[in-house]
Amino acid sequence: MKKRKAPQERINDQLYVLLSRLSPYIENRDTLGSMVGYCVASSLVDFKKKPGSNSNFEEARTVYEGLETVIIRCSADLQETANPDTNRLYAIFCEFQIKVNSHVDKVRADHHIDISEEYQSSIIRGMLNILKYTKENPEDWLRRRGIALIHEAMAGGEHKGAKNALTEDYNALTYSFTAR
Protein backbone atom coordinates (compact mmCIF):
# COMPACT_ATOMS: atom_id res chain seq x y z
CA MET A 1 0.00 0.00 0.00
CA LYS A 2 1.38 3.36 -1.05
CA LYS A 3 1.94 5.87 1.72
CA ARG A 4 0.13 9.17 1.25
CA LYS A 5 2.13 12.29 1.52
CA ALA A 6 1.02 14.59 4.32
CA PRO A 7 -0.65 17.72 3.00
CA GLN A 8 1.60 20.75 3.01
CA GLU A 9 0.61 23.26 5.62
CA ARG A 10 0.11 26.90 4.87
CA ILE A 11 2.66 29.18 6.38
CA ASN A 12 2.23 32.72 7.67
CA ASP A 13 5.65 33.91 6.54
CA GLN A 14 5.00 34.70 2.93
CA LEU A 15 4.42 37.89 0.99
CA TYR A 16 0.71 37.34 0.38
CA VAL A 17 -0.04 36.93 4.10
CA LEU A 18 2.27 39.70 5.28
CA LEU A 19 1.03 42.23 2.71
CA SER A 20 -2.58 41.28 3.50
CA ARG A 21 -1.84 42.01 7.16
CA LEU A 22 -0.09 45.31 6.38
CA SER A 23 -2.60 46.78 3.92
CA PRO A 24 -5.37 47.61 6.47
CA TYR A 25 -2.95 49.90 8.30
CA ILE A 26 -2.08 51.89 5.16
CA GLU A 27 -5.17 52.53 3.07
CA ASN A 28 -3.63 54.77 0.41
CA ARG A 29 -2.26 52.66 -2.46
CA ASP A 30 0.69 54.94 -3.21
CA THR A 31 1.68 55.22 0.46
CA LEU A 32 1.48 51.43 0.82
CA GLY A 33 3.60 50.99 -2.32
CA SER A 34 6.22 53.42 -1.00
CA MET A 35 6.29 51.72 2.40
CA VAL A 36 6.68 48.26 0.81
CA GLY A 37 9.32 49.43 -1.69
CA TYR A 38 11.43 51.13 0.94
CA CYS A 39 10.91 48.29 3.45
CA VAL A 40 12.21 45.73 0.92
CA ALA A 41 15.22 47.88 0.03
CA SER A 42 15.98 48.75 3.65
CA SER A 43 15.73 45.11 4.69
CA LEU A 44 18.13 43.93 1.99
CA VAL A 45 20.70 46.73 1.94
CA ASP A 46 22.59 45.21 4.90
CA PHE A 47 21.90 41.59 3.92
CA LYS A 48 24.74 39.15 4.61
CA LYS A 49 24.84 35.65 3.13
CA LYS A 50 24.99 32.79 5.60
CA PRO A 51 27.46 30.05 4.64
CA GLY A 52 25.75 26.87 3.48
CA SER A 53 22.28 28.39 3.14
CA ASN A 54 20.20 29.19 0.09
CA SER A 55 20.78 32.93 -0.27
CA ASN A 56 17.58 33.37 -2.31
CA PHE A 57 15.55 31.97 0.57
CA GLU A 58 17.51 34.06 3.06
CA GLU A 59 16.77 37.22 1.07
CA ALA A 60 13.04 36.41 1.08
CA ARG A 61 13.15 35.70 4.83
CA THR A 62 14.94 39.01 5.42
CA VAL A 63 12.12 40.83 3.60
CA TYR A 64 9.56 38.90 5.68
CA GLU A 65 11.29 40.12 8.85
CA GLY A 66 11.23 43.71 7.62
CA LEU A 67 7.53 43.56 6.76
CA GLU A 68 6.74 41.86 10.07
CA THR A 69 8.52 44.68 11.93
CA VAL A 70 6.41 47.28 10.11
CA ILE A 71 3.22 45.34 10.92
CA ILE A 72 4.17 45.10 14.61
CA ARG A 73 4.91 48.82 14.79
CA CYS A 74 1.66 49.71 13.02
CA SER A 75 -0.27 47.37 15.30
CA ALA A 76 1.32 48.92 18.41
CA ASP A 77 0.32 52.38 17.16
CA LEU A 78 -3.26 51.21 16.66
CA GLN A 79 -3.43 49.70 20.15
CA GLU A 80 -2.22 52.96 21.70
CA THR A 81 -4.84 55.04 19.96
CA ALA A 82 -8.15 54.40 18.21
CA ASN A 83 -6.81 56.06 15.07
CA PRO A 84 -3.49 55.08 13.56
CA ASP A 85 -1.13 58.01 13.92
CA THR A 86 0.04 58.93 10.42
CA ASN A 87 2.99 60.81 11.95
CA ARG A 88 4.29 57.54 13.42
CA LEU A 89 3.78 55.78 10.11
CA TYR A 90 5.66 58.60 8.46
CA ALA A 91 8.48 58.18 11.00
CA ILE A 92 8.83 54.49 10.04
CA PHE A 93 8.88 55.46 6.37
CA CYS A 94 11.51 58.17 6.98
CA GLU A 95 13.80 55.67 8.72
CA PHE A 96 13.69 53.47 5.63
CA GLN A 97 14.02 56.40 3.25
CA ILE A 98 17.11 57.85 4.94
CA LYS A 99 18.83 54.46 5.02
CA VAL A 100 18.07 53.51 1.41
CA ASN A 101 18.60 56.94 -0.15
CA SER A 102 22.06 57.18 1.41
CA HIS A 103 23.07 53.99 -0.43
CA VAL A 104 21.50 55.20 -3.69
CA ASP A 105 23.29 58.54 -3.36
CA LYS A 106 26.58 56.73 -2.63
CA VAL A 107 26.45 54.57 -5.77
CA ARG A 108 25.28 57.49 -7.92
CA ALA A 109 28.09 59.72 -6.65
CA ASP A 110 30.85 57.17 -7.26
CA HIS A 111 30.36 55.16 -10.46
CA HIS A 112 33.49 53.17 -9.59
CA ILE A 113 31.83 51.45 -6.63
CA ASP A 114 31.66 47.73 -7.31
CA ILE A 115 28.07 47.00 -6.31
CA SER A 116 28.64 43.24 -6.51
CA GLU A 117 31.36 43.48 -3.85
CA GLU A 118 29.63 46.09 -1.71
CA TYR A 119 26.22 44.33 -1.45
CA GLN A 120 25.47 40.62 -0.98
CA SER A 121 21.79 40.66 -1.88
CA SER A 122 21.22 39.98 -5.57
CA ILE A 123 17.96 41.94 -5.41
CA ILE A 124 19.59 45.05 -3.93
CA ARG A 125 22.46 44.78 -6.44
CA GLY A 126 19.97 44.73 -9.30
CA MET A 127 18.00 47.57 -7.76
CA LEU A 128 21.08 49.76 -7.25
CA ASN A 129 22.40 48.99 -10.75
CA ILE A 130 19.15 50.32 -12.18
CA LEU A 131 19.08 53.39 -9.92
CA LYS A 132 22.80 54.07 -10.42
CA TYR A 133 22.45 54.88 -14.10
CA THR A 134 19.06 56.55 -14.13
CA LYS A 135 18.13 60.04 -13.07
CA GLU A 136 14.79 58.74 -11.86
CA ASN A 137 13.66 59.75 -8.39
CA PRO A 138 14.33 56.76 -6.05
CA GLU A 139 11.15 57.45 -4.07
CA ASP A 140 8.95 57.28 -7.16
CA TRP A 141 10.82 54.23 -8.49
CA LEU A 142 10.51 52.33 -5.18
CA ARG A 143 6.82 53.30 -4.86
CA ARG A 144 6.08 51.83 -8.28
CA ARG A 145 8.14 48.70 -7.54
CA GLY A 146 6.38 48.30 -4.17
CA ILE A 147 3.01 48.49 -5.92
CA ALA A 148 4.22 45.96 -8.50
CA LEU A 149 5.26 43.58 -5.71
CA ILE A 150 1.88 43.93 -4.02
CA HIS A 151 0.14 43.07 -7.30
CA GLU A 152 2.48 40.09 -7.88
CA ALA A 153 1.94 38.73 -4.37
CA MET A 154 -1.83 39.19 -4.43
CA ALA A 155 -2.12 37.63 -7.89
CA GLY A 156 0.01 34.67 -6.78
CA GLY A 157 -2.10 34.15 -3.69
CA GLU A 158 -1.18 32.11 -0.67
CA HIS A 159 1.30 29.29 -1.19
CA LYS A 160 1.39 25.92 0.48
CA GLY A 161 4.70 24.77 1.91
CA ALA A 162 7.63 26.86 3.06
CA LYS A 163 9.93 26.01 0.15
CA ASN A 164 7.26 26.81 -2.43
CA ALA A 165 6.43 30.12 -0.71
CA LEU A 166 10.08 31.14 -0.47
CA THR A 167 10.71 30.27 -4.12
CA GLU A 168 7.64 32.10 -5.41
CA ASP A 169 8.22 35.11 -3.17
CA TYR A 170 11.88 35.40 -4.16
CA ASN A 171 10.81 35.28 -7.82
CA ALA A 172 8.19 38.00 -7.18
CA LEU A 173 10.77 40.16 -5.41
CA THR A 174 13.29 39.69 -8.21
CA TYR A 175 10.75 40.39 -10.93
CA SER A 176 9.32 43.45 -9.17
CA PHE A 177 12.61 45.08 -8.19
CA THR A 178 15.16 44.11 -10.82
CA ALA A 179 13.23 43.98 -14.09
CA ARG A 180 13.62 47.13 -16.11
Q: Which residue has the higher pLDDT, 112 or 125?
A: 125
Q: Which residue has the higher pLDDT, 92 or 80?
A: 92
Cα 77–chain centre separation? 21
CB 70 within 8 A of CB 35: yes
Q: Is pLDDT of 105 > 90?
A: yes
**Which three-class secondary structure state does DSSP give residue 12?**
coil
Q: Residue 79: what pLDDT?
A: 62
> What pLDDT, in 10s, does the model give residues 16-42?
999 999 999 888 999 999 999 999 999
Q: Residue 180: what pLDDT?
A: 65
Among 18-32, 53-67, 79-93, 97-111, the range scoring the smallest mean pLDDT is: 79-93
> What pLDDT, in 10s, does the model give residues 128-168?
999 998 888 999 999 999 999 999 999 999 988 889 999 99
Q: Band of the pLDDT at 6, cuts 50, 70, 90?
A: very low
* Domain segments of the chain as ranges: 15-178
Handedness of CA 48, 57, 112, 109 (dihedral sign): negative
Report the candidate in 79, 37, 85, 42 with the shortest Cα–Cα distance to residue 62. Answer: 42
- Cα gap 138→97, rounded to integer Å: 9
**Count of positions (residues) in the chain:** 180
- Cα gap 168→154, rounded to integer Å: 12
CA distance between the termini of the chain? 52
Report the candidate in 113, 145, 105, 122 with the shortest Cα–Cα distance to residue 44. Answer: 122
